[in-house]
Amino acid sequence: MEWNPPDTWNRMEAYLRGIPDEIGVRPRAIVVISGHWEEGVVTIQNNPAPPLLYDYYGFPPDTYQIRYPAPGAPEISARAAELLQAAGIAWKYDHARGFDHGVFIPLKVAFPQADVPIVQVSLLAGLDPTSHIRLGQALAPLRDEGVLIIGSGMSFHNMQIMMARMRGGANDRSPHPGSQRFDDWLTEILSKAGPDLRLDALRAWDKAPAARDAHPREEHLLPLHVAAGAAGDDPARRTFNDVVLGSVESGFRFG
């Protein structure tokens, strides 16, 4: 797409392209928790050939022609269900839903050959942070079974602020102050706090500086809670940082 400035997403694109080298091993499969799927109970995609769900509106016609024919992984879906069952977490399968754009947009850049099987797992509609940490803790054994767990959201997701900055012609290298305060807090608690303090802080994320400036609604933050829950005692480090549409955005890796 054309953006103003033209390099708006270049640094994020480079970061995504570097993920395979960053992790250093080809994953057996990928489990993705996206900010674009909420259900009353944890729902596991179980489809050997998921279609794409173009869950966005008003974009150029070519964005509805994107293809990303990555296979599903029914055996990973079954293993995720087994882990949730053992943890006492209610779950169900979805055999029809396709990959939403929180899956196919970043992974088309990171794994362009579409040759790594993918399973998407939903958020919980109640948006309770503790429940999403617990979900990650239940799925954690997948990490030792060759599965890459990705929380796909945004560290700052206030579209009203971001679109106003874009329409106003703001220099996108000058961040909204609330986004900087929240990012400073997030980086501190993820990269410097011990695992227990890290999870305690994430449970109370809405008490953080400028929390509701960053996330008027927290569906784009909670994939991080799942990833942090799955991380166990592994340290976190920030692997991406940029100013996009006037807001600070960061990405983190555990382990």
| Whole-number percent of the chain with pLDDT over 70 | 98
- Taking only the tens place, the pLDDT of each residue in 121-150 is 999 999 999 999 999 999 999 999 999 999
Residue 174 has pLDDT above 80, yes or no: no
| Cα–Cα distance for residue pair 31/17, rounded to 1 Å | 18
Per-residue pLDDT tens over the stretch 36-85 = 999 999 999 999 999 999 999 999 999 999 999 999 999 999 999 999 99
Nearest to 234 by CA among 184, 209, 199, 183: 199
pLDDT value at position 167? 72
pLDDT digit string, tens, across residues 103-127: 999 999 999 999 999 999 999 999 9
> Looking at the predicted structure, is the pLDDT value of residue 23 above 80?
yes
pLDDT at 237 > cutoff 70 = yes
pLDDT at 161: 87
Question: For residue 131, how many C-alpha atoms fall within 13 Å in the half-sphere facing its CB?
Answer: 17
Maximum separation of any 2 CA atoms in the chain, in Å: 52
- The 3-state DSSP class for residue 13 equals helix
- Domains of the chain, each with CATH number or no CATH: 10-254 (3.40.830.10)
Residue 165 main-chain phi, psi, to 5 deg: -65, -40
- Tell me the average pLDDT across 215-244: 97
| The pLDDT of residue 170 | 52
Residues 6+ apart with CB under 8 A from 152: 32, 33, 34, 35, 102, 103, 106, 223
Residue whose pair of structure tokens reads 């979805």 in the numeric block: 94
pLDDT of res. 2: 84
Both tokens of residue 243? 């100013």
Q: Are 210 and 246 in contact (CB under 8 A)?
A: no
Q: Please state at what angle helix 10-17 crosses helix 101-110, rounded to 10 degrees.
A: 70
Rounded to the nearest integer, the mean pLDDT of the chain is 95
Phi first, then psi: what are they for 99, rounded to 5°?
-70, 125
- Quote the tokens at residue 210: 């400028």
pLDDT of residue 162: 86
DSSP β-bridge partners for residue 244: 247
The pTM score is: 0.96
In this prediction, residue 22 carries a pLDDT of 94
Read off the DSSP letter of residue 221.
Answer: T
